[in-house]
Amino acid sequence: MFRSKAEKKVIDAGYDPARLPPGQYLTEKWPVLHAGSVPHTELETWDFRVWGEVEQELTLDWQQLAALPTVEVTQDIHCVTRWSKFDLTFKGIAWRELETLAGQKPSARYAIAHAEQGFTANVPIAVLRAEGALLAYEADGEPLGLEHGWPLRLVIPGKYFWKSAKWLRGIELSVSDKPGFWERYGYHNDADPFKEQRYAF
C-alpha cells in the first residue's frame, strides 16, 4: 500500500521512496520561487564578504572567489512549497576554503547568509561545515540561471531550500543565532523536511 500518489510516482521513477520527505511531491523541473525581483549583477563590481567571528574579515572579488578549489556534490532539494527535485549536481566552493582564509574563531556558532535585496538565512555553523554544503555557481554542468541565484548561491543539504540563499553576497559568523528573512515571517528555524518543519507555529 502506497503512502500517497506522490510516493507511487517516486517508486515508478525508480527511486527509493524514503528519499521523499512527507508532504512533498517529485518534480523533474526546477521551479522558480523567491521574494522580490531578480537582481541585476555586474561581475566587475561584485564581491563576497566573510565577517563577524573571524580573525580577519575577508572580501573577495569574483576572480578571486572563482580561483578557489572547487567541489561537486549531487543531492536532493526540497522546497517548503512541497516540491522535491532529486539528483541535482552543484559545483562550487566548500566553506572550509573560506573559513581557512578568514580564520574562523571557535566562538562562531551560527552562520548568517546575506544576499541581495536584504535577504538573510541562518543555519548553525555545523550545518555550513557539513558535507555537501557549498557556495555554488553551477548546477548540472551549467552556470546558475539568473532566477536560480547567479552568480552565487548557498547550498545547504538536508534543509528546506529557502536556507540555500540565492544571490549570495556574504557570510556573517555569529556567537548567537539571528533569524533570517523567512524565519521572521514564521517559518521554522530548523527547516528539516523529513520532520516537516515548515512553520514555527
- Domain extents in the chain: 25-33+41-195
Class of domain 25-33+41-195 (CATH, top level): alpha beta
Averaged pLDDT, 57-73: 97
Taking the alpha carbons of 122, 128, 131, 135 in that order, is the dihedral positive or negative? positive
Let me know: does 166 contact 181? Beta carbons within 8 Å: no
Give the whole-angstrom CA distance, residue 104 versus residue 51. Answer: 9
What φ, ψ does residue 5 adopt, rounded to 5°?
-60, -35
Amino acid at 199: Y
* pLDDT confidence bin for 1, thresholds 50/70/90: very low
Averaged pLDDT, 124-128: 97
- Is the pLDDT at 25 greater than 60? The verdict is yes
Task: Report the predicted TM-score, pTM, of the whole model to 2 decimal places.
Answer: 0.92
* pLDDT confidence bin for 38, thresholds 50/70/90: confident
E strand or H helix that includes residue 62: helix 62-66
Q: What is the pLDDT of residues 73-120, one digit of tens each?
A: 999 999 999 999 999 999 999 999 999 999 999 999 999 999 999 999
